[in-house]
Every structure is written in C-alpha cells, then in structure tokens.
C-alpha cells in the first residue's frame, strides 16, 4: 500500500509518502516547507497569513514528495490528511486540497489526528517498542500523557489545564525578548545559564497526571518585574531561560515517570515539538533508565510538524482496521482531542 499524506494544521506545509507491507511502514519521502521566516515579523502565527502561504506552497510540496518517492499519482492507494486539531484556516487548505485530489484520482482518504501523528512518530524507527507504553506529547498547542495499552488504544491520562508546554516556552521567550519560535531559543540561551532562580514546579506532586504552566510563566514575569531585570544583559536572559527550562522539564519528567510506574509501562515515548529540547530528552532518558525503562524519541526533524508522522499514523490507523472514507466524509475539527 502506498499512502500520500498532507499536513497543514499550523504553519508548516508538508507532504510525505510511505509504503506499507504488513506491519512494516517504510518512509519514501518527506517534504516540509516551513513558514518560520514569514511569522518571525509578528513573533507568532497569524492564521490568515499562514493559510495564504499554504495555498502558495502546497502544490509544489506535494509534487516534490512524489518526485522524491519516485512515484506518480497513479501509484497511490490512499490519501491521508490532518483534519484536526489546528488552525481552522490552515486545516482547510490541506483537507480541501486532498478532497479535490481524491475526486481527481478516485482514491479514498484517511482523515488523521495531528496529535496521533506526534504520538506515533516515536514508533517510526521503533515500531516494535513494547506496550503498554506511557507517552508524553509536548507541542505548541498540547501537553498530554497518554497510555497505549495496544497500538490503536489511546487513553488520555493527563493533560495541561492551561498553557501547553510549547506555548509556555514561546511566551517566556517573548518576555526574554528572544526571536520566534521561542522554544529552541530558550534551550540555546539556557546553555549559558549560571544562576537558578528556583522557579515553582506547578502541580509536580498532585496525584493526577495533569500539568499547569501558567503559574510558572507568571513567576518568570514577576521575577523580571520585581528584580527590574534587563534583557539587554545576555547573562540575565541565559539565567532566566535556564531556570524556566529546569522547572518545566522537572515537572514533565516527574509526572511521566510516575505514570509509567503506576501503569506498569514497558516503555516510554516522548514526542511533539518540545521533544526537540535536549534537556528534556536527556533528563527523561536518565529517569527512565533508573526505572529500567527505555525512552523512545523521534529524530529531531520528526518532532516538529511534518507529514511523515501523519502518513505513519494513517498507516497505523489502517492496520488497526480503519476503513478509508469518501471525500464527502472528511470534516475539519480544529478542537479535536487525541
Ligand atoms: N528545542 C526546543 N525546546 C523547547 N521547545 C521547543 C524546541 N523546539 C521546538 N519547540 C517548541 O515546539 C513547539 C512547536 O511544536 P509543534 O510544531 O509540534 O507544535 P504545533 O504543531 O504548533 O502544536 P500542536 O502540535 O499542539 O498542534 C513550539 O512551541 C516550539 O517553541
Ligand atoms: Mg504539532
């Protein structure tokens, strides 16, 4: 089976092709056209600007994905597309494009959840990782701990009650006057941090597996205000980034490990844009090792948005018995839960 997947849920226009043979999912191509330079001016994504950029780029991105995979449209068995969650105007470009393509080549569609794309990206290079697994998904708009008892049985056991982890990184980066996107800038600045302000670790010891990052973000704001800290001093920026990152990572690691113990997980996965954070990868890996568990993390380029993760999730959905649908049945849902 050959699946062509398209992802336009936020600010990356992406297309990828995978080939499936029984349980093996083989990537044939993955093309991502990022809009980061476009959104740098506004230090965040303006939905209308993102949607217009998707329109301009989608055709070329799909053509390149097909060329890189050395296939033509005739070889495709199914189309896959992200139908939520995400920005409605961005989602509509990808879904309407795929619907038109479906009609033109007479192939059915696998509507795919963006967050399941992130989740299963950790399985791409390790499809046989042992279940049950506890999976931490940390991205720009979401923070989930999910339990996978079997490959297609996703159960949310914890999530953020306010800001997502990536959102907190981005908002703190703004306070530190760092460029967009903030997450990678915080981790770069944190490398030079010397002083730890010991910010709060919200909800670290609550019995549930939920997170809260709003208070931590406010603690950074108050520290800047109360100590009249100036962002013109690179050491101040480095110390604040270092202290914020330490607090955020501590909470994420502590809750994930506790969930893994409670649910007797045989492995742990980490995915989503914030999974690109080196400190989180290291600390969670070390903590997992102490519990004799292995942590699986996707390659860096698979952490942030891409269509290979969507093709992979669609293939897993198909393997789980999902019946691809007619284009009339594809509906966009910006608020879709995993
Ligand atoms: N090295 C890093 N450290 C911390 N955060 C990072 C790093 N690299 C990327 N991020 C963050 O990851 C987020 C982007 O991830 P992703 O592309 O998965 O989010 P999204 O698709 O916008 O949101 P969602 O997947 O929830 O719909 C941004 O918040 C970004 O700052
Ligand atoms: Mg994402």
- Domains contained in the chain, CATH given: 2-119+303-329 (3.30.420.40), 130-297 (3.30.420.40)
Give nearest CA residue, ligand 1 atom 23. 140
Q: Is 237 a residue whose pLDDT tops 90?
A: yes
What spacing in Å lies between the alpha carbon of 85 and ligand 2's midpoint?
9
Q: What is the distance, to the nearest Å, from the Cα of residue 26 to the centroid of all Cα atoms in its chain?
A: 21
Task: Report pLDDT for 114.
Answer: 98
What spacing in Å lies between the alpha carbon of 301 and ligand 1's midpoint?
12
Q: Using one digit for the tens of pLDDT, what is the confidence trace for 175-216? A: 999 998 899 999 999 999 999 999 999 999 999 999 999 999
d(CA 175, CA 237): 9
List the 78-84 sheet strands across, edge first: 24-34, 12-21, 2-7, 78-84, 109-113
Q: Is 335 a residue whose pLDDT tops 90?
A: yes
Q: Is 79 a residue whose pLDDT tops 90?
A: yes
The pocket of ion ligand 2, defined by CB under 5 A, consists of 139, 305
Task: Report pLDDT for 37.
Answer: 87
Assign 36 a pLDDT band (cuts: 50, 70, 90): confident
Chain position carrying tokens 């070329």: 60
pLDDT above 70 covers a percentage of the chain that reads 100
Task: Report pLDDT for 43.
Answer: 85
Q: Which residue has the higher pLDDT, 37 or 8?
A: 8
Q: Using one digit for the tens of pLDDT, what is the confidence trace for 137-174? A: 999 999 999 999 999 999 999 999 999 999 999 999 99
Task: Report pLDDT for 246.
Answer: 98
Q: Is 123 a residue whose pLDDT tops 90?
A: yes
Across residues 281-306, what is the average pLDDT?
A: 97
Assign 40 a pLDDT band (cuts: 50, 70, 90): confident
First CA to last CA distance, the chain: 25
Q: Is 248 a residue whose pLDDT tops 90?
A: yes
Across residues 245-260, what is the average pLDDT?
A: 98
- CB atoms under 10 Å from CB of 258, counted, come to 18
Assign 318 a pLDDT band (cuts: 50, 70, 90): very high
Task: Report pLDDT for 128.
Answer: 86
Chain position carrying tokens 């093709």: 311
3-state SS assignment for residue 147 = strand
| Ligand 1 cavity residues, CB under 6 Å | 9-10, 85-86, 114, 118, 139-142, 166, 169-170, 181-184, 187, 272-274, 276-277, 304-305
- The set of residues, in sequence order, having a beta carbon less than 8 Å from that of 28 and lying 6+ positions away, is 2, 16, 17, 18, 19, 68, 69, 70, 71
pLDDT above 90 covers a percentage of the chain that reads 95
Model pTM? 0.96
Q: Is 41 a residue whose pLDDT tops 90?
A: no
Q: Is 44 a residue whose pLDDT tops 90?
A: no
**Ligand number with the minimum distance to the CA of 213:** 1
What spacing in Å lies between the alpha carbon of 227 and ligand 2's midpoint?
35
Assign 23 a pLDDT band (cuts: 50, 70, 90): confident
- Let me know: does 27 contact 124? Beta carbons within 8 Å: yes
Q: Is 112 a residue whose pLDDT tops 90?
A: yes
């Amino acid at each position: 089976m050959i699946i062509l997947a398209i992802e336009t849920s936020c600010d990356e226009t992406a297309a990828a092709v995978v080939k499936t043979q029984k349980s093996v999912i083989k990537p044939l191509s993955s093309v991502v056209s990022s809009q980061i330079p476009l959104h740098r001016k506004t230090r965040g994504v303006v939905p209308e600007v993102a949607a217009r950029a998707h329109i301009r780029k989608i055709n070329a991105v799909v053509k390149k994905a097909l060329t890189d995979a050395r296939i033509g449209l005739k070889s495709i068995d199914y189309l896959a597309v992200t139908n939520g969650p995400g920005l409605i105007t961005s989602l509509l470009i990808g879904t309407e494009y795929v619907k038109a393509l479906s009609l033109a080549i007479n192939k059915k569609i696998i509507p795919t959840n963006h967050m399941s794309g992130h989740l299963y990206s950790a399985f791409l290079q390790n499809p046989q990782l042992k279940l049950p697994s506890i999976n931490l998904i940390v991205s720009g708009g979401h923070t989930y701990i999910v339990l996978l008892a079997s490959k297609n049985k996703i159960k949310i056991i914890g999530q953020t009650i306010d800001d997502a982890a990536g959102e907190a990184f981005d908002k703190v980066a703004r306070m530190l006057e760092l460029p967009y996107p903030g997450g990678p800038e915080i981790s770069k600045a944190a490398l030079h941090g010397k002083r730890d302000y010991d910010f709060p670790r919200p909800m670290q010891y609550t019995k549930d597996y939920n997170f809260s990052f709003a208070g931590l973000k406010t603690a950074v704001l108050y520290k800047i205000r109360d100590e009249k800290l100036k962002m013109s001093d690179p050491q101040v920026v480095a110390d604040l980034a270092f202290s914020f990152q330490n607090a955020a990572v501590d909470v994420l690691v502590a809750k994930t490990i506790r969930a893994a113990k409670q649910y007797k997980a045989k492995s742990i996965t980490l995915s989503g844009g914030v999974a690109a954070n080196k400190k989180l990868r290291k600390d969670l890996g070390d903590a997992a090792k102490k519990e004799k568990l292995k942590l699986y993390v996707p390659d860096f380029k698979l952490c942030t948005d891409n269509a290979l993760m969507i093709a992979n999730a669609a293939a897993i959905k198909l393997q789980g018995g999902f019946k691809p649908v007619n284009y009339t049945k594809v509906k966009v849902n910006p608020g879709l839960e995993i």
